[in-house]
Amino acid sequence: MRPNGRHTVGASQLSALRVWAVGLLLLSAVAISPTTAKAAPSQAAVATTHVYLLRGVLNIFSLGLDTIGARLQAQGIPVTVANFVSWSSLADEAAAAYKAGRLKTIILVGHSSGATALPDMIAKLNQLGVPVKLAIGLDSVFKTKLSSGAERYINIYIGDGPGEPVRAAAGFRGKLDNVDVRGTGVGHISIDKNEAIQRRVIAEIDAAIMRSRAPAAPVAEPGAPRQARSAAAAAPARN
């Protein structure tokens, strides 16, 4: 009889059981964690999506949009990065691709004057009979009214800086969210380069693509009278 030996073996077995139990709990926690099974847009949805990113003045203060564009391209999402002054020709390009069946989901992102130009681009696309799934403005610099429909419009601005909330004009159809990020340490020049903001933008784009099979918001008929222009067309450019 070796009581001490039996006790030693029992302790070892108990220790092993504890290790096994802890390991099982950890594996269970990983299995149910929502972050481990993150959904991604399907390749079919990605292939018929295009994201247009509008820089502000001079093409030197909105380079965070280039980073966002590169991250989206790494996911296989087609992007165009351009200065805000190109919004009208980009709208024509997007409308042609949509009507040809090459595009189903159009997403717009702008910073500074690029954000201010978004309502004008949305209005022109709607006038051409083309829906906008999502638009995200980063610190729009003029008082801006959204008179035409984007299914969802997110305006991320710095309330104690040059940025302005976007107002919904009469007849606006869609969902408008104004997100004030004052006190977070971001500034007008850095908001597009901030890691947390970039992650938010990309997550919203991914979510919009995931929703792309849902019916788009109604848009104006081609040739319908255009609503009042936003302040982007009336005010001088400013970054």
Which CATH number belongs to the domain containing residue 53 in this structure? 3.40.50.1820
Q: Does residue 104 fall inside a structural domain?
A: yes
Q: Does residue 36 fall inside a structural domain?
A: no
Is pLDDT above 60 for 67? yes
Domain limits at 220?
43-234
Q: Same domain for 204 and 107?
A: yes
Token match 């209005």: residue?
A: 123
Q: Does residue 69 fall inside a structural domain?
A: yes
User: Which residue from 177, 217, 183 is spatially nearest to 201, judged by alpha carbons?
Assistant: 177
Token match 């429909």: residue?
A: 149
For the chain, the average pLDDT equals 79
Q: Does residue 123 fall inside a structural domain?
A: yes
pLDDT digits (tens, 9 = 90+) for 74-114: 999 999 999 999 999 999 999 999 999 999 999 999 999 99
Which residue type does 80 have?
Answer: T
User: Which residue from 144, 170, 158, 136 is spatially nearest to 65, judged by alpha carbons?
Assistant: 136
Q: Same domain for 64 and 159?
A: yes
Give the pLDDT confidence score for residue 44 in this predicted structure.
79
Distance (Å, rounded) from C-alpha 142 to C-alpha 235?
Answer: 8
Distance (Å, rounded) from C-alpha 204 to C-alpha 217?
Answer: 17
Q: Same domain for 138 and 185?
A: yes
Q: Same domain for 49 and 137?
A: yes
Cut 0.85: pTM above it:
no
pLDDT band, very low/low/confident/very high, at 146 (cuts 50, 70, 90): confident
Q: Same domain for 150 and 94?
A: yes
Q: Same domain for 70 and 180?
A: yes
Q: Does residue 37 fall inside a structural domain?
A: no
Specify the higher pLDDT residue, 27 or 155.
155
Q: What is residue 99's three-state secondary structure?
A: helix
Q: What is residue 55's three-state secondary structure?
A: strand
Distance (Å, rounded) from C-alpha 12 to C-alpha 151?
Answer: 62
Q: What is residue 91's three-state secondary structure?
A: helix
Check: CB of residue 49 under 8 Å from CB of residue 78. Answer: yes
Which residues touch 172 (CB under 8 Å, ≥6 apart)?
Answer: 146, 147, 148, 149
Q: Same domain for 15 and 104?
A: no
Number of domains composing the chain: 2
Q: Same domain for 156 and 180?
A: yes
Q: Same domain for 69 and 13?
A: no
Q: Same domain for 20 and 83?
A: no
Q: Does residue 19 fall inside a structural domain?
A: yes
Q: How many CA atoms lie within 13 A of 154 on its CB side?
A: 18
Q: What is residue 232's three-state secondary structure?
A: helix
- 152-157 and 175-180 beta bridge pairing: parallel
- What's 83's DSSP letter? E
Q: Same domain for 80 and 197?
A: yes
Q: Does residue 220 fall inside a structural domain?
A: yes
Q: How far is CA 223 from the centre of its chain?
A: 29
Give the pLDDT confidence score for residue 37 in this predicted structure.
36
Q: Same domain for 168 and 74?
A: yes
Check: CB of residue 155 under 8 Å from CB of residue 221. Answer: no
